[in-house]
A and B are shown apart, each in its own frame.
Chain A
């Protein structure tokens, strides 16, 4: 089984403990001038999203995780299952609602997302940073009010709700930052 030595430790490294995949989100090298070098690491469990701390001595190693990141197109949603397709191999992958997490708010048919595979099984997806969604329902827009700090709720085509400025109308297209869930601007296409 492949493994990583402390000299290879860096942010983003994919490793595994007890069968679960982890991503190294922090790795700090500490060493008293005349003493033992330590690597203080924070690792995120890619299945549960929990974070653990681990300390290593130089020369230690961690088992590598077979984690692959691919581009996959969202196809459809059926009974709590989200179906994606790898555009190169046409292989289809299914994610549960739990695995998709908040991602469902942004998923439109045909959207290309980042997908993470662990031992060739899908474990998580990330939508593009910015997505354009159609407003299906909101209070009528207030003409002339160009202020963006006055907000109101709106419901978009995916069924999710966001906050948008008062001037937005039903049928408008709005651009959302998927990392924060915040409105950015009105979009044309």
Chain B
């Protein structure tokens, strides 16, 4: 399958080799793309901002594991994304902001993952799903000289590639589909972990097909996977999220942002309960973002894009290591 397949983990002696892994041609290309990216945001009147990488707050997500350090007996978190701080800026009056920053995530290493990576994140007040997806598609076109993104709903994609409705299918139906499609099931995936089964089917049977000819925006996710996005009521209710795919690679993830602080606290609690069940440590549920949301967050769309992956696709490389001077094994 096409995907995060190719790379291997932790090969070779970590102390040998001082040289960069990426070629100079790729590193020059990387710098050019960064300039083009900043130029694109500048032309669209976005303000470039910088926010802390080390913070007292962290995103509470079942599947994101932040690094932490201690300072003056206080636990500080290395940011898995600059989301909280950027939303505080929005609540404080920002209209359109972006930043290019390093983000860190524990345990994520592979050909499409490096524990430390470069994220481009932007927010624009007043945008809804349509504007958010359009802007993401425009940016992708400018950066990669590709066509506009095709929009496919999560439900359509599952209907086409798995043959079921992801919003209504129960875990039994999802598990049966995985079996029918010959997907290797992780022994520890529990029979009632609906998100786990959806993720397995997405990774194995949906994602490899996305964006092979032109970029694809997958949108309207199952409500149970809303994380920090708004849920649009309806039958079925859907999470107002979208993700951009090109060549089966997930490039960007956008939310029509959740504005309700009480709902955020509820989701944090649920995420921590799942983390406990997964045998993971819990993360702080209260944060300055809650205060920002209580003071009033404007309706907005926020998008995070993996810059290393964008460069990788632009140069036609197969792994992030080929476009990073010093990937984790040489860090």
Contacts and interface: CB of A to CB of B under 8 A. Distances in A.
B207 interface: yes
A38 interface: yes
Contact of A29 (B113, B184, B278): B113
B3 interface: yes
A17 to B, nearest CB: 11
B207 A60 contact: no
Contact of A28 (B7, B241, B243): B7
In this complex, the member of A33, A37, A58 whose beta carbon has the largest number of chain B beta carbons within 10 angstroms is A33
Contacts of B6: 28
B65 to A, nearest CB: 9
A30 B110 contact: yes
B199 A29 contact: no
Interface residues of A, number: 26
A35 B63 contact: yes
B113 A56 contact: no
A40 B185 CA distance: 10
B200 A38 contact: yes
Interface string B258-269: 000000000000
Contacts of A29: 4, 9, 108-113
B118 interface: no
Interface stretch (A7-15, A104-112, A181-189): A7-15
Contact of B9 (A27, A57, A60): A27
A140 B297 CA distance: 90
B9 A11 contact: yes
Nearest to A26: B8
Given A7-B107, A35-B199, A60-B186, A28 B253 contact: no
Interface of B: 3-11, 61, 63, 107-113, 183-189, 195-196, 198-200, 202-203, 207, 225, 227, 241, 243, 250, 253, 278-280, 304
22 contacts: A11-B8, A28-B5, A28-B111, A29-B4, A31-B4, A31-B108, A32-B207, A33-B253, A33-B304, A34-B253, A35-B63, A35-B198, A37-B63, A37-B107, A38-B199, A40-B5, A54-B184, A55-B186, A58-B107, A59-B188, A59-B280, A60-B187
Interface of A: 7, 9-11, 26-38, 40, 53-60
